[in-house]
Homo-oligomer: A and B are copies of this chain.
Amino acid sequence: MSKYQTIKEQAYKANMEIPAQHLALYTWGNVSAFDKDAGVFAIKPSGVPYPELTVDSMVVVDLEGNVVEGNLRPSSDTPTHVVLYREFAVKDGKNINGIIHTHSTFAVSWAQAMRPIPLFGTTHADHIQTEVPCTPYLSEEAVKNDYEKETGDLIVSHFRSLKLNPAEVNMCLVGGHGPFCWGATADKAVYNAAVLEEVAHMALNTISISPSATPLPSYIVDKHYLRKHGPNAYYGQK
């Protein structure tokens, strides 16, 4: 048995949730599961349809982007995952052990419109306290240099410039492209991607109903977020 069995199983299970939650068509999308101590993550192989995935087909990659175990090529988005784990999990020390990229319909639509998703209601505030950030386009130089790595750098620099805490704001739209989300586990990353898709759908409906809709007052945002996530959270079982 592989010494990376645990993260391979986590990654396999989380990847299978992409079609189950309708977050992407065909082979699109990918999830990784990170082992911080070992400094490696398991990720979906590139271009393989979900019904053909197995635990053994997961590819284990280190934080230099080198394949450590596995017979297949890792997802083409692997260098983006490398950057996000290095910056957010290792350098910033945040509790992030899962990352997901999808092409879910409504989240991609906001990314294509180059607009952050406004925080209109408590469904959104239950999960993050800010609008869902949306990066500008990558520069031509960045695209020509090392596209997937630069996508990670763009997310990180966007978070730095907005002073967002990636342990709290666990989702980002890459302008013209689509969403990356993350979480304490690969499962929670998938959960966040499904939340984002629902919030993106509701927000489009909201501006269709009322083009001048205004954001939720901050005192309600904070209340909802903190009842689920603060030190005195009282949602769920202890």
Say yes or no: is A195 at the interface (Cβ < 8 Å to chain B).
Answer: yes
Question: Roughly how many angstroms separate A72 CA and B198 CA in the complex, as a whole number?
Answer: 28
- Known: A176-B120, A205-B106, A208-B204. Contact between A73 and B237, CB under 8 A? yes
Q: Tell me if B109 and A202 are in contact (CB < 8 A).
A: yes
Question: Roughly how many angstroms separate A27 CA and B177 CA in the complex, as a whole number?
Answer: 30
Query: Closest B-chain residue to A235, C-beta based?
Result: B76
Say yes or no: is A68 at the interface (Cβ < 8 Å to chain B).
Answer: no
Q: Tell me if B201 and A105 are in contact (CB < 8 A).
A: yes
**Which among A25, A108, A137 has the greatest number of chain B C-beta atoms within 10 A?**
A108
A219's contact among B73, B140, B195, B223, by CB below 8 Å, is which?
B140
Q: List 23 A-B contacts (CB under 8 A).
A: A25-B194, A25-B195, A45-B237, A47-B236, A73-B237, A76-B227, A76-B234, A103-B123, A105-B202, A106-B205, A108-B123, A109-B208, A111-B121, A112-B203, A112-B205, A113-B206, A115-B209, A122-B176, A143-B223, A147-B223, A176-B216, A177-B220, A208-B208
Chain A residues at the B interface, C-beta cutoff of 8 Å: 25-28, 45-48, 72-73, 76, 103, 105-106, 108-115, 120-123, 137-138, 140, 143-144, 147, 176-178, 191, 194-195, 198, 201-210, 213-214, 216-217, 219-220, 223, 227, 234-238
